[in-house]
Amino acid sequence: MYAIIVTGGKQYKVSEGDQIKVEKLDVESGKEVTFDVIAVNDGTLKVAGDVSAAKVSATVVEQGRDKKVIVYKYKRKTGYHKKNGHRQPFTLVKINKISL
């Protein structure tokens, strides 16, 4: 059984016991959080009105920052170049239960 959830403008396919990195949530480690569900598959795929009451509950494992991504801009013949780094904050959550 799996569900498709929406958080942070992205969609994730999750099953019970999965650990996923999502966009930073303003929740402390150890707290529980619920996600909106857009589809559930428990043998047959259910969408729209069939999953309006469905919830996915998860526990926040940790808050962190991802690996550094280097952004390098360069234009030839003009001497223009810029180097910049970025670390995206994330929240690691463990999926506890998918309920219909």
Interval 20-48: pLDDT, tens: 999 999 999 999 999 989 999 989 999 98
Q: Which two tokens stand for residue 82?
A: 């810029």
CB atoms within 10 A of CB 17: 8
- The model carries a pTM of 0.84
pLDDT band at 5 (very low <50, low <70, confident <90, very high): very high
For residue 100, what pLDDT is reported?
85
pLDDT band at 96 (very low <50, low <70, confident <90, very high): very high
Cα–Cα–Cα angle for 31, 11, 88, rounded to 5 degrees = 65
